[in-house]
Amino acid sequence: MTRKISFRDALKEGLDEELAHDDNVVIIGEEVAQYNGAYKVTEGLWKKWGDKRVVDAPISEAGFIGMGIGASMLGIRPVMELMFYSFAYVAFDQMMNNAATCRYMSGGLINVPIVVRGPANGGTSVGATHSHTPENIFANMPGLKVVSPSNAYDAKGLIKTAIRDNDPVYFMESTVLYGQEWEVPENSDLEDGELLIPLGKADIKREGTDISLIGHGRAVITSLEAAKILEEEHGISAEVVDLRSIRPLDEDTILDSVRKTHRAIYIEENKPFCGVGAQIASTIQERVFDYLDAPVLRITSVDAPAIYSPPVEKEQLPTAADIVEKTLSIC
């Protein structure tokens, strides 16, 4: 049965199914219970599952993230919600130093099956301290997994897989996408009875032959908009590659696309310096240089703190027009 549901509701379905699947799954975060979540992702879950499975936390990210990491070492599978991923910096030692290294430091005896999820995006006029996109920072640390879905289908399949993973998974969303709808099948229509998407598997969102537009998160949606313009107005066939999982990274899908199109642009809402796109560009250059007919280009947000003014902030983030302009410069 074909149906459309929002990114928000897809996440909620995934969380609800995992609460049912495993009694060790708990949701912890600020306002996730009685208030139904700051973005209503957990709406109705506290009423359904009760105080022990959906738990409100105080405004102390270092405290409740640390508690979640400790609980995960003892067999609980906590899903921690950050109201903004900008607040992860308050729990940086817990998230980077402890969660990432515990399995290694224990010789593989202690796993940390925790998910930390929440919005990591600009574009909502909440200022520089609430608009960070730290996926590149967390992906830099061995032992962590970083996920950034671009649509409701992937959001549901990836959150379920992330919760079942035995390592820390940092799940980064976009508030701009929460209300948008996509087709997500009913479980009864799926061969295995549930939607699970493996970590480390990219997805071709649009087939093309002339250039590879590669990205993650909301930048994939912007890339699809640009691909449509390129085809309709310029006769250029753009392939859109969605990383879905930043770490582990599906290099094969990226490289196969570039071998086919011979050109590539990486698009992200992250800052340019040491961004995810820098890693992808280096990988392409090292692995498939002889297939390239043009330099690998990058489109990022402007390298400055997020601007509060709505019309100015829109100009700070990548647009479809930016992608079209860059594409035309190398096609």
Give the residue numbers annotated as catalytic, written as ranges. Answer: 61, 130
Enter the tokens of residue 216.
Answer: 């993650």
Kindly give the residue spans of alpha helices, DSSP state H, lying in 53-116: 61-73, 92, 102-105
Q: What secondary structure does DSSP assign to 271-283, as a single string?
A: -STT-HHHHHHHH
Q: Which residue, chain included where needed, has tokens 């997805």?
A: 203
Cα separation, 68 vs 183, whole angstroms: 33
Q: For residue 91, give the nearest of 69, 114, 118 by alpha carbon.
A: 69
Q: Are 11 and 38 in contact (CB under 8 A)?
A: no
In whole angstroms, give the CA distance from residue 192 to residue 181.
23
Please say whether the beta carbons of 251 and 279 come within 8 A.
no
Strand, coil or helix: what is 18? helix
Single out the residue of 1, 63, 12, 14 nearest to residue 40, CA to CA.
12
What is the DSSP secondary-structure string of 75-86?
Answer: T-EEEEEPSSGG
> 122, 133 in Cβ contact below 8 A?
yes
